[in-house]
Amino acid sequence: MNLFLDSFWRAVTYCLRPRVIALSFLPLLLMVALMLGLGYFFWESALDWVRVTLESSLLVNNVWAWLQSVGAGSLKMVLAPLIVIFAVTPVIVVLSLLVVAVLMTPSLTLLVAERRFPQLERKRGGSVMFSLLWSLGSTLLALIALIISIPLWLVPPLILVLPPLIWGWLTYRVMAFDALAEHASPEERREIFRRHRGWLLGIGVLCGYLGAAPSLIWASGALLAAAFVILVPLAIWIYTLVFAFSSLWFSHYCLAALRSLRAEAALVAASAVPVVLTPIDGQAVILQDDTPSGSTTSR
């Protein structure tokens, strides 16, 4: 419990660092760059295609005629641009977040390691390819579990429990692996997962609930079209900040757990070192200390 709370508060304080805040704005910059680039090359052709599609529809033409009769014919001029914007924005947002996710986790893990664990040996137990396969496999299992559990969502309490639990499991599998990929060996990673599975799952579930906050802003942006331009970037920034917080929480927890595991292993190894006594009659006497660390001998 102490490690759980300690890593939580450390993650909160790290989110206030300029480096983390700068990383949280990265998807917004990528989104603007993508929009400008796509707009420069494809804006006119996309508008022409949408206009032709709308004008070829009998239903849309009837709607135009009705709007013209009520004095709202000017809406015809803005509909095509709005359709293009609403269609392209989700794709750009997802691409930006994926790029940031790939770049952010290693950077934040490195930040935690440099500031808190500079002496922690890097055993590099997870390659980039293995990390990718691990993430894809975990995602596939989570999607299968999500699909299988859909009928249970009809039971009112379970819809608030099962999806966060599944996504929490996925979050812990992916982020804990990435947090340990650089420093832990495969054996150490498996041991940490075995010992701390419950706490890691708890972190994943809590981060999953935090990730629902941007969804509320997305919904507000859909309802309030006038505020769409403001609310959507705000939701992206909050989501990225939640992602950064999650990465920091897992990094602090996992690296601290790894340090404790190695300290424990070193203590066990030290207790098993043979003791060489002073030679007697020309022969050295070697005693093997098999007494477990911390135990006492009864007399």
Q: Does 103 or 193 have the greater pLDDT score?
A: 193
> Is it the case that residue 225 has pLDDT exceeding 60?
no
For residue 138, the tally of other CB atoms under 10 A from its CB is 17
Please report, in angstroms and rounded to a whole number, the separation of the first and last CA atoms in the chain: 37
Query: Across the chain, how many H-helices and E-strands are there?
Result: 10, 2
> Is it the case that residue 125 has pLDDT exceeding 90?
no
Which residues, 6 or more positions from 248, have their beta carbon under 8 angstroms from its beta carbon?
Answer: 10, 11, 14, 15, 20, 108, 112
Lowest mean pLDDT among 56-60, 140-144, 271-275, 276-280: 276-280
Q: Per DSSP, what are the bridge partners of residue 204?
A: none
Q: What does the pLDDT look like over 20-66, one tens digit per residue?
A: 888 888 767 777 777 778 778 888 888 888 888 877 877 777 877 77
Angle made by CA atoms 217, 34, 37, in degrees to the nearest 5? 140
Amino acid 207: pLDDT? 85
> Is it the case that residue 129 has pLDDT exceeding 80?
yes
Q: Does 63 or 112 have the greater pLDDT score?
A: 112
Three-class SS state of 32: helix
> Is it the case that residue 254 has pLDDT exceeding 90?
yes
Residue 134 · residue 173 · CB < 8 Å: yes
Q: Does 30 or 194 have the greater pLDDT score?
A: 194
Q: What does the pLDDT look like over 64-83, one tens digit per residue?
A: 777 777 776 666 677 777 77
Amino acid 294: pLDDT? 45
Alpha-carbon distance of 202 to 206, in angstroms, equals 6
Residue 139 · residue 195 · CB < 8 Å: no
> Is it the case that residue 224 has pLDDT exceeding 70?
no
> Is it the case that residue 4 has pLDDT exceeding 80?
yes
For residue 44, the tally of other CB atoms under 10 A from its CB is 10
Closest CA to 6 of 203, 177, 168, 167: 203
Output the CA torsion sign for 87, 89, 90, 96: positive
Q: What radius of gyration, in Å, describes the C-alpha atoms of the chain?
A: 28
pLDDT band of residue 153 (cuts 50, 70, 90) is confident
Once rounded to an integer, what is the mean pLDDT over residues 134-147? 86
Residue 161 · residue 186 · CB < 8 Å: no
Amino acid 25: pLDDT? 83
Once rounded to an integer, what is the mean pLDDT over residues 170-194? 89
Amino acid 227: pLDDT? 58
Which residues, 6 or more positions from 217, have their beta carbon under 8 angstroms from its beta carbon?
Answer: 231, 232, 234, 235, 238
Three-class SS state of 287: strand
Q: What share of the chain has pLDDT > 90, as a percent?
A: 18
Q: Does 57 or 122 have the greater pLDDT score?
A: 122
Q: Report pTM.
A: 0.71
